[in-house]
Structure 1
Amino acid sequence: MKRVKYGVGVMALAAGVLSSSSVAGAAPASDAGAAGWPICERSRICIWQGAQFEGFIKLTQVPVTPGSCRLIWFGGSSVFNNSSVTQRLYTSKNCTGTPRRDVAPGAYISDLGYEYYSLGG
């Protein structure tokens, strides 16, 4: 049953992405996907400045390979991993320390509870 819900959500999400313009850097993220799903292109991890997928969005091409680190210029407070690779968020700017948060493929988290400043594989 969970797979069916996920598949329908991804289809709705894909429809929303196809009807919206591509974002290469930071842009306002006021558009919400169908049924409240955040809009995030396939094979990307999308990180929003605010909770509930609000504020500015940063799209980072994934996968971030193991041992690599990418800076999130603003503190990320919500995330959607629309890739096939688990990614890890860190509260530091250099992918070290705790708290850290693993984000599984297909997972979206509307309120991370902390601001995260770096992304690692």
Structure 2
Amino acid sequence: MQTTTPSIPILHEYPYLSQLCDAYLFSDYTIYGPEPADAVTAYARDEGWLDIVAARADIRRFMAFYRDSLDQELARRYPDLARLPDQSAADFLTWLDAQLLHHQASVKP
């Protein structure tokens, strides 16, 4: 009988950040409302407290791992990401983390 070991996420994989960016904050985010914040609200509503916490952890790991190439890496991984053209990756991710923190506080675990 062969046993399997549960897969452990590799340090540079960000599944919750990817879910948020690819499914909610893509270029057509307006299906959730007129502002990107509306897409974050939809994510928090749909995914729940644990995913909010995990997405925030992904953001912190992403920012730490790619601190020297944050703008390039965010653009490479999420080319359809909805953010202001002149907004740096650090500013966007800091904004996103603050939005998630707000929802984390208002959603029951």
Say whether the fold is shared (TM-score over 0.5).
no
Is the strand fraction higher in 1 or 2?
Answer: 1
Bigger Rg, structure 1 or 2:
2
Q: TM-score, normalised by structure 2?
A: 0.30
> Quick check: which one's helix share is greater?
2
Higher RCO (C-alpha 8 Å, min separation 6): 2
